[in-house]
Structure 1
């Protein structure tokens, strides 16, 4: 979600310090990073279910409750790691009716399982906790709660914790590789407020103490950071797309704006159903929920805070004007339902699988509505936000993403691969097959590379390697010698090969450069007569002075 592009950086640096939830240029890592980012023996269990029961006190900005964690041991488990931020109190941990001993290191709680849970056994524990959760300074760029008021003075509360960690507000196995298969969320809030969470609404109950408990259930695998509370004086309206329930929760004074703005959801669904496949969480329905921060891809409960404006808060990230034809937050955050929520990176080092594909889904939507040329123009416009500073893939096992380039550069990598295919029917089939093949799975970059590589006889391995694991993009070098023109690739990947389409005297030709000089058959006096089709390929072009 966090759009940490150059555009966003300059747009917000005058407002408040930028603090991406994970995006940073940190180069050294602590034990706390390893405890959070690695799959240690104490994490050798598969989470099956969370049952959250929480109470939120808006006046005190305080939460309390429990999480019943149902799990399956993947080997004998004498000690179990559950994550909860150090500022939150552990009130007690119960296992088979008995309190367990535990120790804490940083944001990890190590529980002495007595007796030890045996390999392959399904069991559960109850984790009771309370405290004053971290409050976000500038959500969603930093993680935490947002305690504010709507225009009518009613409490309005949201949470954004991607990267920072869901353990900021509830105890869980805080690693993207493990998703509970279902979640029950029971949230008590003051009587005059509503809580909207993920999944299907089950019931509400007046607790007789000034609080009402709102119950929601998720029936699909879900990322920890997507499990969410949205508390406010909401009104509800609904619609349908085919068999999919569309539910909207907004502030009362924005109801008419929302009915008009959210009509775009049906256009989006029609496009994504065709190009990406059916909505992956039909059993849980689709919701847009107005939030006091910009947005986030909370599964089946997408956070919306774009002010009912077209574009990104009324601006166009591509600089082309095309981005002002649609509501950025609706399309981008909903695109994450396919990429990020359904198909999930097992380690956040591979978060380009979320952000690159979701940014590409923006162009998919543009192509559905306004045609391929505008989609290509939009993608080329996004290149202005690429910094090529650090690789798109981050270091593994330390809870660290790669470069913020994963958004625009990731999308332009996919567009380049589409162009390499040189067959739109094959491209759309492969993209849809990929999206459906990995539905509701956690995956790694290598699986994505293999899937797209298998669909074409052209070797995509060096292409993925160059764009994902190096900062530079391929450089097409051109040189004339008399009337002879020579070309080659310069890249970090040894023996880099990739076809590229160029325009020569108003005619498009496909070249197959290698690191070795090759000569065009046509006669040239000026290398400037050869231009890369930069709507289709994201590469550098350089005219050099000397052959070498």
Structure 2
């Protein structure tokens, strides 16, 4: 009997754990914007949270300050059902609310008109959802370091911020006026978060860290990490001459790694700035914190879990994970998409920056070789942009990284070196497309066309919205004559054609172009385009 009861309990525990794990990984965000949430714009979040690592709980309150855009008598927020809401206030006065699936509707005393500002405070507590495969299936990661100390990470890119705070969980709305965090942890621990540390306050057995960021921040970029950290700070001068702190937080057991990782961070910053302009958040910091999962681009406090697996690119010590997450400060944090259908802008352009590190530190030939190697691994099965109003799960797949980066590689050839980089840096410095102004692919496309004079719509349509690639047809006409065309597309592309007399750049289209060569011509031998090449015998 005892064995049977134990077995039943074990099975029940396993089933419950499995169900909970499934529940914790079905969250997503984005998609069509809820009409009720379209009635307001989030201006600021203030988090006052206590983290209890031993109990795996969080508790406290969040203030959501909003500006009303349409007449409304309720504020609809997102917050997962794992938390119990114990109190709600509107502008400091107790308010009624209704719990909805993974959310709550807060009643206003009267209909509020456009332009008015409302602050909703939500008090809540509960067991924090644990990540199963962070950061891809996110949540809280409750771990211990080698010394047995608590180590708590948080990842929410695919789930949204509702897994740890009440919010408007949609990529189209970021807090324009920033985020304030008061994170309380057991004494002896550090809470590293976004922005600048304003101070810390000791209480009975605990310490509260006050962090302030005045930049707009996407929901999943709001973050805190708790651990037995030691920190190293160094001053950095940006490419525009502004000074800011670089700060690295590592577990105490890895304190000896601080100087080397700081050097890697500085080299990474200088390389990113060369191609993409000044670090976007220099008024606060460039920060890195060691996490119990691989990494994520949390604004000004990038998660780092690559375990110091440095490589050499040319003669330069490099950490690809750190460099990639840092690149998201430009692509993902400064430039953010308002529809996950355009996820490729964040991941593809950031990944292209990874390729540029190879070029900067190992040379152009190494860059081309690297791109060719990546291109061979692109399956080209799923369009990068499938439709509008996608949620994070629907939009996320590997090709938004690799093929998205390759689109930029091709665009560089299409526009020419100087114009390409000038245009990309211009987009990154455009107030209409950065910080609080989220973008879509149409915005990037329009900007490029307006600033280059080239209509790239057919190019984007082909590579972003289909899985088709140009099929280059090389027809042998005679002993030393060939015709080259691209019959399956309705626009022209410049491509280098190598013959026995040298390399010439031809504008290829449906119309065949004749070239003289004793040997078969090589089309786009350097691999600037994803394409297929077909040869056949033609007729004069």
Q: Does 1:140 align with 2:132?
A: no
C-alpha RMSD over aligned residues: 2.4
Tell me by how many angstroms 1:382 deviates: 1.6
2:514 is matched with 520
Task: Check whether the contact 1:394–1:402 (CA below 8 A) recurs between aligned residues.
Answer: no
4+ residue segments displaced more than 6 Å: 321-324
1:408 to 402, 408, 422: 402
Query: In the TM superposition, what whole-angstrom CA distance separates every residue of 1:382-429 from its partner, at most 9, and x where no partner exists?
Result: 22331211111243324131542011111111111111123x222221
1:363 match: 355
Q: Which of 495, 501, 506 is the equivalent residue of 2:496?
A: 501
CA–CA distance in structure 2, aligned partners of residues 310 and 380 of structure 1: 23
2:157 corresponds to 1:162: yes
Matched, 1:247 2:242: no
Relative to structure 1, the CA distance from residue 496 to residue 109 in structure 2 (aligned partners, 3 Å threshold; closer, same or farther) is: farther
Provide the residue aligned with 1:435 in structure 2.
428
Distance, in Å, in 2 between the alignment partners of 1:89 and 1:540 is 57
* Unmatched tracts of structure 2, length 5 or more: 1-17, 238-242
Task: Report the Cα distance in structure 1 between the residues aligned to 2:495 and 2:30, rounded to whole angstroms.
Answer: 42
> Where do 1:186-225 residues align within 5 Å?
186-208=182-204, 210-225=205-220
Per-residue CA deviation, residues 434-456 of structure 1 (Å, 9 max, x unaligned), is 11113313111111112222333
Aligned match of 1:256? 256
- Whether 1:102 aligns to 2:97 is yes
Q: 1:247 to 1:92 in 2, by over 3 A?
A: same
Change (3 A) 1:107 1:381: same
Any idea what the Cα deviations from partners look like across 1:142-196, whole Å, max 9, x if unmatched? Answer: 1110000000000000011102111111111111111112111001111121111
Equivalents in 1 of 2:101, 2:537: separation in Å?
57
Task: Output the CA distance in 2 between the equivalents of 1:417 and 1:398.
Answer: 25
Residue 334 of structure 1 is aligned with which of 326, 334, 338? 326
Which residue of the partner structure matches residue 6 of structure 2?
A: none
Q: Shift in Å at residue 101 of structure 1?
A: 3.1
SS of residue matched to 1:378: helix
Q: 1:179 to 1:456 in 2, by over 3 A?
A: same
Q: Which residue matches 1:425?
A: 418
Greater RCO between the two (CA within 8 Å, min separation 6)? 1
What are the superposed Cα offsets for residues 188-237 of structure 1, whole Å, 9 maximum, x if unpaired?
111121111110001111122x2211110011010110111100000011
Q: Tell me the equivalent position of 2:284.
A: 284
Which residue number corresponds to residue 273 of structure 1? 273
Rounded to whole Å, the distance in 2 between the matches of 1:135 and 1:79 is 31
Task: Give 1:294's aligned residue.
Answer: 294
1:250-278 alpha-carbon deviations (Å, 9 max, x no partner): 01221222311330222222222222111
CA contact (8 A) 1:395 1:401 kept: no
SS, match of residue 389 in structure 2: coil
Out of 79, 86, 92, which is 2:81 matched to? 86
| Aligned partners of 2:67 and 2:115 also within 8 Å | yes
How far apart, CA to CA, are the structure 1 residues paired with 2:314 and 2:167? 41
The 8 Å contact of residues 347 and 397 in structure 1, kept in 2 or not, is answered as: yes
Please give the TM-score of this superposition, normalised by the length of structure 1: 0.87
Q: What do residues 350-400 of structure 1 show as CA deviations (whole Å, max 9, x unaligned)?
A: 110100110011122222223222222222222233121111124332413
Unaligned runs of 5+ in 1: 1-16, 25-29, 315-320
Q: In structure 2, the residue corresponding to 1:357 is in which secondary structure?
A: helix
Q: Deviations over 1:284-329 (max 9, x none)?
A: 2111111111110000001111111125xx9xxxxxx879952111
User: Does the aligned pair in 2 maintain the 1:140–1:296 contact within 8 Å?
Assistant: yes
Q: 1:541 to 1:108 in 2, by over 3 A?
A: farther
Give the distance between the partners of 2:337 and 2:157, measured in 1 at CA.
13
